[in-house]
Amino acid sequence: MDEYGRFVDWDKMDVSAQSQDTKELTCTDFHELKQLARQGYWAKNHSLRAKVYHKLISNIPCRTVTPDANVYRDIVMKIIGKRNSSSLPLPEFVDNSLIPTYCLNAEGIGAVRKIILCISNQFPDISFCPALPSVIALLLHYSKDEAECFEQVCRILACNDPSKRLIDQTFLAFESSCMTFGDLVNKYCQAAHKLMVAVSEDVLEVYSDWQRWLFGELPMAYIARVFDVFLVEGYKVLYRVALALLKFFHKVRAGQPMESDSIQQDIRAFVRDIAKSVSPERLLEKAFAIRLFSRKEIQLLQMANEKALQQKGITVKQKSYCFSMFCIVFLRQNVHLAVHAENFKSEIVSVKEMRDIWSWIPERFALCQPLLLFTTLEHGCSLSRFYSHSEGHEPTLLLIKTTAKEVCGAYLSTDWSERRRGGNKLSFFGTGECFVFRLQPEVERYEWVIIKHPELASTGSETENHTQPASSTLSSSSIPSDPSDRLSPFLAARHFNLPSKTASMFMAGSSECIIVGGGDGQALYLDADLNHGRTSHCNTFNNQPLCSESFQISILEVWGFRD
């Protein structure tokens, strides 16, 4: 059809959707380019999309020595020889059982394997890159020959801009991205997450499929539109689209019976057949309607998850004889099994209820086991003993049972010793990962009000600048020298420009009381004797109170997180 159609099986393509209008792309302004990508300016012209891809990829900053088309021409015969490429074993860092064809002809399908093998020869540091076959298969549509496709893929792999993440190339990076996606689902797709927890035996195993949904199951027309925007905006786009897919899946399947052993297959089948319910433009529209944190804040979350995996020694993929794309032996404990019944005993919550709480906490701490630090039944109703047993642990989980049999609590991201920084003055601390919840009479989680309603903060955290990716919510003095040392990548309250009436509380403590909460106007106040408490409830967001406005404490427990 044109000079870029050598590897395309046009009989399988929807040629009617292609425009023959001669268009050029001359803009260089990032914001204008971003809008054009989102609008699909080059999506309906095969030749124009090829030229745009070449332009965008050629502008990716790369290592000084990056293999190019000439390198491919030099090595391909040495590596492949006269053997049939379809019979050649692929490197372990990709999945041999799932190589998308994306309407490629026989020559194109063989070219995918040849390029993978040549990339393996030139990039010995790649240890896990299951998205690679999909990227190659897609770019072959817009390449004149194999060498040109090879060069483009090499530039993507060799990107050395620390602020521009593109494709995961190690198991550590991939696994931490799965955990990060789980964290984002927990924040932004709570209804879908609740469904996953209810029907899945291992939530993270479901979320570990998120890249497969994009680079494996999505039809050609959809992944091409995602890739249009990905080349301009980077990795965050992938999270956005995967979240949108999960939202649509929940919308279509909610209320229908689902089995735990089939949920992964159900989502994959939904994504494969997405054309039956959602158009590519509607998918992107949904993706960009999600008010995600800034690229910088997501990067901090990714770094925190990577650090947690490294501390657990989870850095490489374990070999498995059952091998399918992204079929990984997760060393992280199963979410539903992370709270072991034989080792867990609480006078407030059951094992099942604790597992539900565990599904809400950040993924990097779901790697841990609960550890009882303090209970009023054993340590008495003393606030000083509460502090002495809780300090030195970060994060902690507070559980309260009232005499009226109400059960509520809080996930607290910061060490209680931080309260001393305010001297004798009661001051608030903590991060945006804190939340309060209730389990009885019914289950409800309340996030920090600014996380749930970001329009209350004039931070501009959703505004991204191509040359300055750091969020404007961060002051220069608030960024640590090693961001991965931050317990939470989400910003503390002082980093938001909040009017006093909407300033949300995290946690505070003195010798007279402790205060926790803040999500959606919910706050919990406990007196020094740990016998009495009260709640504060804002009706702005139409939520039910955490518990009775004034209550007596029957039992209070504080749990830590044990490696």
State whether 418 and 551 are in the same domain.
yes
Give the domain range for residue 240.
Answer: 171-312
Q: What angle do CA 363, 364, 365 make, to 5 degrees?
A: 90
The one-letter amino acid at 220: M
Q: Distance between CA 43 and CA 112 in Å, rounded?
A: 23
Domain boundary among 111, 131, 158: 158
Residue 318 lies in a domain: no
The one-letter amino acid at 132: L
CA 329 to chain CA centroid, nearest Å = 19
State whether 112 and 238 are in the same domain.
no
Dihedral sign, CA of 180, 183, 189, 194?
Answer: positive
Residue 206 lies in a domain: yes
Give the three-class secondary structure for 323: coil
How confident is the model over 151-168, as pLDDT tens digits? 999 999 999 988 788 999
- pTM (two decimals): 0.76
Looking at the DSSP assignment, which residues form a beta bridge with residue 375? Answer: 557
Check residue 86 and give its pLDDT. 75
In order of 97, 169, 318, the CA distances from 90 in angstroms are 10, 16, 17
Q: Count of alpha carbons within 13 Å of 481, Cβ hemisphere only?
A: 0
Q: Phi and psi for 52 in degrees, rounded to 5?
A: -65, -45
State whether 126 and 176 are in the same domain.
no
State whether 56 and 100 are in the same domain.
yes
Domain total in the chain: 3
State whether 396 and 532 are in the same domain.
yes
State whether 142 and 178 are in the same domain.
no
Domain boundary among 158, 181, 203: 158
State whether 147 and 214 are in the same domain.
no
Cβ atoms of residues 524 and 438 within 8 Å: no
Residue 537 lies in a domain: yes
Give the three-class secondary structure for 400: strand
Residue 493 lies in a domain: no
Residue 523 lies in a domain: yes
Number of Cβ within 10 Å of residue 353's Cβ equals: 17
Closest CA to 410 of 382, 444, 376: 444
Cβ atoms of residues 489 and 297 within 8 Å: yes
State whether 540 and 419 are in the same domain.
yes
Residue 50 lies in a domain: yes
- Where the chain has pLDDT below 50, the residues are 319-337, 449-504, 519-520, 539-542
Query: Residue 301 is part of a domain; what is its CATH number?
Result: 1.10.472.80
State whether 151 and 176 are in the same domain.
no
The one-letter amino acid at 272: R
Dihedral sign, CA of 420, 422, 424, 427?
Answer: negative
Q: Distance between CA 175 and CA 92 in Å, rounded?
A: 16
How confident is the model over 499-552, as pLDDT tens digits? 444 344 578 888 888 888 754 467 788 998 998 888 876 543 345 667 778 899
Residue 288 lies in a domain: yes
| Long-range contacts of 104-110, Cβ-Cβ distance < 8 Å, separation of 24 or more | 104/7, 104/8, 104/9, 104/137, 104/140, 104/141, 105/7, 105/8, 105/9, 107/6, 107/7, 108/6, 108/7, 108/8, 108/9, 108/137, 108/140, 110/84, 110/85, 110/86
> Which pair of tokens denotes residue 242?
């995967």
Residue 317 lies in a domain: no
State whether 151 and 178 are in the same domain.
no
In order of 70, 268, 367, 439, the CA distances from 334 in angstroms are 47, 21, 9, 22
Q: Distance between CA 314 and CA 531 in Å, rounded?
A: 43
Q: With left for phi above 0 and alpha for psi between -120 and 50, is residue 377 left, alpha or beta?
A: alpha
Q: Distance between CA 130 and CA 397 in Å, rounded?
A: 37
> Which pair of tokens denotes residue 200?
């899945």
Closest CA to 431 of 496, 382, 385: 496
Cβ atoms of residues 119 and 153 within 8 Å: yes
For the chain, percent helix, then strand, then coil, each to nearest 5?
45, 10, 45
Check residue 16 and give its pLDDT. 63
Domain boundary among 312, 342, 366: 312
Check residue 541 and give its pLDDT. 39
In order of 211, 283, 414, the CA distances from 241 in angstroms are 10, 7, 32
State whether 254 and 304 are in the same domain.
yes
> Which pair of tokens denotes residue 283?
């998918």
Give the three-class secondary structure for 535: strand
State whether 81 and 207 are in the same domain.
no
